[in-house]
């Protein structure tokens, strides 16, 4: 329980290496030092978060350009715009870069890095040097993969299925595989850092059930980082061995089993979906109470749902393989287990909706993203159940229905949460306010553009258009043109924030400490925070989400 007497000594005692004097430094973390060295050798979690933010934004741009190439090619059915190989390389680069270099690190490595210590009242993560190391590991892996792109690209798809990737593809597969393997270590280091930090660095009085949901979802994400990533690392190393030295693991020509690779790949890559989705849920769970000025409904259920999702997600990987030669019994089991994912997902959505009920709503930019998120996540989630239904899967497996489904989760979910969070915490990160009108326009453009791009793909999929097709039957052209047109709206929606956010860095209004009247320790310190986060130790509130409007819930909520 709240023990205000011990808070004073708490913060200073947590970080033994911090020199006392720095507490009095007036400058914030951005202006504390300005040399390049102070950025590239920093151990400040906030500066490392900014390094990550710049890196993943660059990768997002690369991935988005590749997506543009794909949508351009698909405007005509006969492949007249580019050769098949060019198309195949474009969608592979899009997938590899977006999944491994944007979506997986996106929210944890930037917002998680920046906010977890602030939210729990700590000065930094538990292992600041390890945190910097993980950024360098990430950039090293990314460099390897970019080498493969520059040398001529790869055409295996982001899934690297053997034996196509090990024996048949002529592209620069090895550097890409090595790069993705290395990036995995960065995930493991970040996950380890978060788990230890959340366990040991909480301010006195910050009990588990006072933690913001953002911290809960990052804790759940970190567990997946730690438990699942080693499996993909192993699988990729085996793939590298087979391609480089013909050691037979997956290719039947050398006595291997190609379905084994799919099992190993999806044992990681399905949980990886929750690496992308859970942090987004955390962001939404912060934004909605702030803009409804109301306590998050069903706090404990939402927290447990995060751990529930992170657990269930380890038991459903086989739903990617219903038609891939897996036993029918296994398919039945994986189908049934996949339906169980609906339970914690429903908990989240209904609790967010109930939070808005009888709140005092302000429809500012972050809230627009959050509301868009709920709509798109619900559609993405439920179409996931279509795919988990065995008989439906037999038809729409590997069609555009799948493409539409996972973009509703990845873009509608993760990217909208990322942008919502970026706008929500931008004043805290930078000390500046962005232009609200432009923010709202962009949020609406992205919502509109996204739906015009991806909703037609559900129809294309049910009509039977296979994914990863450089050419396609002419009757699918109209829907493909519609999808490409939507992509141009979406692109505009992405470009505006890049412009007005960067503009705000120099010309934006100075941000107050708490522009949204939000609760949470990160809003107690200055915008931007000082290097050691809090000038004086923050007072941990009586309950989490201590907003003016509170439901009279059962006593069980916060004992």
Partner 1 sequence: MTPKHAALELWPAAASAVAVETDYLILAFTVLTLVLTVPVFLAITWFAIRYRDGQEANRDTSGIRSNLIEISWMLIPFLLTLIFFVWGARLFVISKNPPPDAMVIEAIGRQWMWKFQHPTGQSEINDLHVPMGQPIKLRIISQDVIHALYLPALRVQMAALPDRYTELWFKADKPGTFHLYCSEYCGTDHSAMEGSLTILSQGDYQDWLTHSGAQQSKVAAGKAIYNAYGCGTCHDDGSNVQAPKLAGLYGRAVRLADGRTITADEDYLRDKIRNPNGNRLAEGYKQIMPSFAGVIPEDDLGRLIDFLKSNTRTVGDAASGEATR
By CB under 8 A, what part of segment 307-336 binds partner 1?
322-325, 328, 331-332, 335-336
Q: Is 246 in the site for partner 1 (CB under 8 A)?
A: no
Instruction: Kindly tell me which of 36 and 556 has the beta carbon lying closer to partner 1.
Output: 556
Whether residue 410 contacts residue 489, with contact meaning beta carbons closer than 8 Å, is answered with no
- Selected range binding partner 1 among 63-71, 99-107, 158-166, 412-420, rule: CB under 8 A: 158-166
User: In the stretch 385-404, what mask flags binding to partner 1 with x, by CB under 8 A?
Assistant: xx-xxxxxxxx-xxx-----
Among 339, 438, 494, 503, binds partner 1 (CB under 8 A): 339
Smallest gap, in angstroms, from Cβ of residue 398 to partner 1? 4
Site residues for partner 1, 428-487, by CB under 8 A, read 459, 462-464, 466-475, 477-479
Instruction: Kindly tell me which of 275 and 288 has the beta carbon lying closer to partner 1.
Output: 288
Q: Is 269 in the site for partner 1 (CB under 8 A)?
A: no
Instruction: Kindly tell me which of 292 and 532 has the beta carbon lying closer to partner 1.
Output: 292
How many CB atoms are located within 10 Å of the residue 450 CB?
A: 23
Q: Which of 16, 249, 231 is nearest to 122 (CA)?
A: 16
How many CB atoms are located within 10 Å of the residue 129 CB?
A: 10
3-state secondary structure of 322: coil
Q: Is 253 in the site for partner 1 (CB under 8 A)?
A: yes
The torsion defined by the Cα of 329, 331, 335 and 336, in degrees rounded to 10, comes to: 10
Whether residue 487 contacts residue 449, with contact meaning beta carbons closer than 8 Å, is answered with yes
CA distance 417 to 285: 10
Instruction: Kindly tell me which of 127 and 386 has the beta carbon lying closer to partner 1.
Output: 386
Smallest gap, in angstroms, from Cβ of residue 17 to partner 1? 44
Site residues for partner 1, 80-99, by CB under 8 A, read 80-85, 88
Q: Is 512 in the site for partner 1 (CB under 8 A)?
A: no
Smallest gap, in angstroms, from Cβ of residue 376 to partner 1? 11
CA distance 200 to 16: 13
Site residues for partner 1, 8-67, by CB under 8 A, read none
CA distance 119 to 499: 29
Q: Is 254 in the site for partner 1 (CB under 8 A)?
A: no
Whether residue 165 contacts residue 249, with contact meaning beta carbons closer than 8 Å, is answered with no
Instruction: Kindly tell me which of 477 and 488 has the beta carbon lying closer to partner 1.
Output: 477
Smallest gap, in angstroms, from Cβ of residue 496 to partner 1? 23
Residues 6+ apart with CB under 8 A from 348: 281, 285, 302, 305
Site residues for partner 1, 357-386, by CB under 8 A, read 357-363, 371, 374-375, 378-379, 382-383, 385-386
Tokens of residue 548, six digits: 């003016």
CA distance 458 to 392: 13
| DSSP bridge pairs for 510 | 432
Smallest gap, in angstroms, from Cβ of residue 85 to partner 1? 5
Name the residue with tokens 């609790």: 351
Q: Is 349 in the site for partner 1 (CB under 8 A)?
A: yes
Smallest gap, in angstroms, from Cβ of residue 453 to partner 1? 18
Smallest gap, in angstroms, from Cβ of residue 456 to partner 1? 10
CA distance 275 to 221: 5
- Selected range binding partner 1 among 8-16, 122-130, 188-196, 549-557, rule: CB under 8 A: 549-557
Smallest gap, in angstroms, from Cβ of residue 393 to partner 1? 8
Instruction: Kindly tell me which of 58 and 354 has the beta carbon lying closer to partner 1.
Output: 354
Among 58, 164, 226, 241, binds partner 1 (CB under 8 A): 164
Whether residue 221 contacts residue 310, with contact meaning beta carbons closer than 8 Å, is answered with yes
Site residues for partner 1, 165-204, by CB under 8 A, read 167-169
Burial 333-345 (b: 16+ CB within 10 A, else e): ebbebbeebeebb
Q: Is 492 in the site for partner 1 (CB under 8 A)?
A: no
Q: Is 200 exposed, middle or buried (0-12, 13-18, 19+ CB in 10 A)?
A: exposed
Q: Is 343 in the site for partner 1 (CB under 8 A)?
A: yes
Among 75, 260, 340, 535, binds partner 1 (CB under 8 A): 340
Q: Is 351 in the site for partner 1 (CB under 8 A)?
A: yes
Tell me the number of residues near partner 1 by CB under 8 A.
102
How many CB atoms are located within 10 Å of the residue 137 CB?
A: 20
Instruction: Kindly tell me which of 304 and 314 has the beta carbon lying closer to partner 1.
Output: 304
CA distance 416 to 493: 11
Among 48, 99, 115, 356, binds partner 1 (CB under 8 A): 356
Q: Is 157 in the site for partner 1 (CB under 8 A)?
A: yes
Instruction: Kindly tell me which of 61 and 463 has the beta carbon lying closer to partner 1.
Output: 463
CA distance 343 to 336: 12
Sign of the dihedral defined by the CA atoms of residues 243, 246, 247, 253, in that order:
positive
């Amino acid at each position: 329980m709240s023990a205000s007497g011990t808070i004073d000594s708490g913060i200073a005692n947590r970080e033994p290496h911090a020199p006392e004097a720095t507490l009095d430094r007036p400058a914030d973390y951005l202006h504390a030092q300005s040399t390049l060295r102070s950025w590239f050798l920093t151990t400040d979690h906030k500066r490392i978060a900014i390094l990550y933010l710049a890196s993943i934004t660059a990768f997002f741009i690369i991935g988005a350009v590749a997506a543009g190439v794909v949508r351009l090619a698909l405007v005509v059915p006969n492949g007249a715009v580019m050769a098949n190989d060019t198309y195949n390389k474009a969608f592979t680069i899009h997938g590899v870069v977006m999944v491994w270099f944007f979506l997986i690190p996106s929210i944890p490595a930037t917002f998680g890095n920046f906010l977890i210590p602030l939210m729990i009242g700590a000065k930094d993560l538990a292992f600041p040097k390890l945190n910097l190391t993980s950024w360098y590991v990430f950039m090293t892996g990314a460099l390897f993969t970019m080498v493969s792109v520059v040398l001529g690209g790869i055409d295996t798809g982001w899934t690297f299925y053997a034996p196509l990737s090990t024996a048949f593809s002529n592209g620069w597969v090895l550097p890409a595989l090595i790069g993705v393997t290395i990036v995995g270590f960065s995930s493991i280091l970040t996950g380890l850092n978060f788990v230890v930090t959340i366990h040991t660095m909480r301010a006195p009085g910050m009990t588990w059930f006072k933690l913001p949901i953002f911290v809960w979802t990052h804790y759940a994400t970190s567990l997946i980082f730690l438990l699942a990533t080693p499996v993909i690392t192993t699988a990729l190393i085996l793939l590298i061995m087979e391609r480089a030295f013909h050691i037979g693991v997956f290719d039947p020509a050398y006595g291997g089993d190609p379905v084994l690779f799919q099992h190993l790949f999806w044992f990681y890559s399905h949980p990886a979906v929750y690496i992308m989705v859970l942090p987004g849920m955390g962001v939404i769970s912060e934004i909605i109470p702030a803009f409804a000025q109301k306590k998050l409904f069903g706090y404990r259920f939402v927290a447990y749902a995060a751990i529930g999702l992170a657990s269930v997600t380890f038991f459903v990987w086989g739903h990617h393989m219903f038609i891939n030669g897996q036993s029918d019994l296994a398919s039945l089991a994986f189908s049934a287990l996949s339906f169980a994912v609906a339970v914690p997902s429903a908990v989240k959505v209904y609790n967010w909706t109930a939070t808005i009920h009888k709140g005092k709503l302000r429809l500012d930019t972050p809230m627009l993203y959050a509301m868009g998120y709920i709509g798109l996540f619900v559609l993405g989630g439920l179409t996931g159940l279509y795919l988990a239904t065995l008989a439906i899967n037999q038809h729409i497996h590997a069609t555009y229905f799948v493409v539409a489904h996972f973009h509703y989760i990845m873009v509608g979910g993760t990217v909208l949460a990322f942008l919502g969070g970026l706008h929500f915490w931008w004043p805290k990160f930078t000390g500046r306010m962005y232009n609200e009108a432009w923010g709202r326009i962009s949020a609406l453009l992205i919502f509109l553009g996204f739906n015009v791009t991806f909703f037609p793909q559900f129809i294309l999929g049910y009509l039977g258009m296979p994914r990863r097709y450089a050419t396609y039957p002419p009757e699918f052209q109209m829907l493909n043109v519609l999808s490409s047109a939507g992509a141009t709206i979406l692109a505009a929606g992405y470009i505006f924030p890049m412009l007005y956010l960067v503009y705000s860095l120099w010309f934006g209004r100075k941000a107050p400490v708490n522009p949204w009247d939000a609760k949470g320790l990160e809003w107690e310190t200055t915008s931007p925070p000082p290097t050691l986060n809090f000038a004086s130790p923050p007072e941990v509130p009586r309950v989490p989400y201590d907003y003016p409007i509170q439901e009279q819930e059962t006593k069980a909520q916060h004992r």
